[in-house]
Structure 1
Amino acid sequence: MYNILIADDEVIERIILGKTLKNYYGDNCTIFEAENGRLAIEIATREDIHVIVMDISMPGIDGIEAARQIKLLKPAISIIFLTAHDEFSYAQKAVSVRAVDYLLKPCDDEELLSSVDEAVRINERDVQLYKLEKINEVKEDESIVMDCEEILSANDKNSAILKEILDYIHENYQKDISMQDAARKVNYSEAYFCKLFKKSFNMNFTTYLTSFRIKQAQKLLKDPLINIKDIGSAVGYSDSNYFAKVFKRTTGLNPSEYRVRNLG
């Protein structure tokens, strides 16, 4: 399903473009419209837009500036400029905001649809790359739920083993791990492991693991490009409904509510 935004101050132009795209993509396409750059930014920020076909000359915020602001917020959105301005300076600016194409009015259907097809392909590629990049950033993030400097101090005879336990959690929280797995990792009996963990961290293993997973999920939810279901999988919850239930129990909000409150 493709969400395409047409940003043009001419009503007739928006109608014609919308009809052309709907005839080609059919039910696989939802069209959004904006009559100026400011509204284009609002819609692109609020909706899951994949491609924008944008005029340059619009009242208030022009297409170039609107594209620049949109790209800062959602870099994976593909932008095509469709304009009557055949000026090299505009083309240069289009390149500077990484536009997929720069088309001149009047534009035939074949040229437009070829550009939109390419823009959709680029968007799909960039979204996937962006998700992987963000997920890997969180995976590599060694920040922890609580301040463990005191726990892992050199004077603590258990500091080395506690660090090994934490490292195991932070490296494997995306997998289906258990307290038993962690105990085996450090060659401790389950009973002794439970006692040591609770004494050292003032919570049991499962509570810590859940807290850490939810902290990582909160970081990912601040990025509107990453699907909530993907976020659940990325932090160790294969069942998206269970992830939502745990997230709400832990934070008081479901993932969608948390995202809305923390965007921007």
Structure 2
Amino acid sequence: MIKLIIADDEHITRLGLQSMDWENEGFRLEGAASTGPEALAMVRSLAPDLLVTDIRMPGMDGLTLMQTLKQEYPKIKVVFITAYHQLDYALSAIELGAVGFVLKPTDPDEILEVCRKAKDQIEAEREQAAAETHLRQQLKEYTLTLQGKVLPEADSGNAIVATMTDFLEHHYMEDVTIGKISEELHFHPDYLSRLFKKETGENFSDTLTRIRMQKAVEHLADPEIRVYEIAAKVGIKDARYFGQMFKKRFGLTPNEFRQQQLALIDEDNSGRAEP
């Protein structure tokens, strides 16, 4: 929600502004002031995103109020309400960075239109700030990696890779990704990927596939377990894709591999049974 304060020395105008359906437009009305100094104090207390104010009020006019606010709260947006004969003030307000102005007598639709414009600007700035924060965090992580601060000891890399391999051995049947392991170990996934390749000579995904295929071979020794069940047991939901991966690695389909192994077992048993 966009936090909003309104300020106008005319009681009727102020009541009219307060009665508008701000919440339905994505605003939360925090308060209403009747003078410039009161508006300034209210902004300092409530820190709103948007101020809708009369350009001429007792104690402090709107331009002075805006100049003061821009120094203390540079991100605040201001919309002015002004009379026709005060347009020169309104033009000065635009030069100061006001979002816009509405002429008296005020039209609720016109006020909402200008406030929606302010809302769009506020939300765009919030998204940009969030993106910049995320980027700064990424840059910080990369900098730590490049400076070698992530691994203070020479053998830490081996220890981390050993932990990663052990994780794969115990979680190969799950939906394992380098991202999930990075969350467990609190390192950036790109760093872990490069470290794993450097220490093992093998890509992370290739190691995971190798472990899964080795486990699949063990399961194939049991003729009671169907191939699609084996696929699920080693963490591959698509049995057809499992078959393709298996044949690429061993040159045989899972069923062909099973039959070959069973034939070797039968042949070995027959040889032992001969006198």
Q: Give the alignment's TM-score, normalised by structure 1.
A: 0.49
More helix by share: 2
Higher relative contact order (CA 8 A, sep 6+): 1
Structure label with greater radius of gyration:
2
